[in-house]
Amino acid sequence: EWVDEIRQNLECPYELYIFGHSLDKTDKDVLELLICNDNVQTKIYYHRKSNDDKKELGKLIRNLVRVIGAKELIRRTGGSHKTIEFIPQTLPEAD
């Protein structure tokens, strides 16, 4: 029902927050329906071990390419109308 509402209210902005999800292709049906709307801003939060750690981001990008395709991912993460943002979460190191 939420996807129908999003598609009927194209002028209304929606926000989708994803925390700690693998974005695996097993969830393709749901993720693609939610993410691939121009009026949905998607923020994907992920954990990284340090500021230099790109391992988890790389996994998420690969999985999202399998879900929405490379062209769609590039369109939604670049340019003037970005709708997908990856937000790193780094835990402070213990003393």
Question: For 64-81, what is each residue's pLDDT tens digit?
Answer: 999 999 999 999 999 888
E strand or H helix that includes residue 18? strand 14-19
E strand or H helix that includes residue 15? strand 14-19
pTM score, whole prediction: 0.90
Per DSSP, the three-state class of 3 is helix
Question: Where do the domains of the chain lie?
Answer: 2-90
Question: For 25-68, what is each residue's pLDDT tens digit?
Answer: 999 999 999 999 999 999 999 999 988 999 999 999 999 999 99
Q: How far apart are CA 31 and CA 35, in angstroms?
A: 6
pLDDT at 46: 96
**DSSP letter for each residue of 34-92:** HHS-TTEEEEEEEEESSTT--HHHHHHHHHHHHHH-HHHHHHHHSSSS--EEEEEEEPP
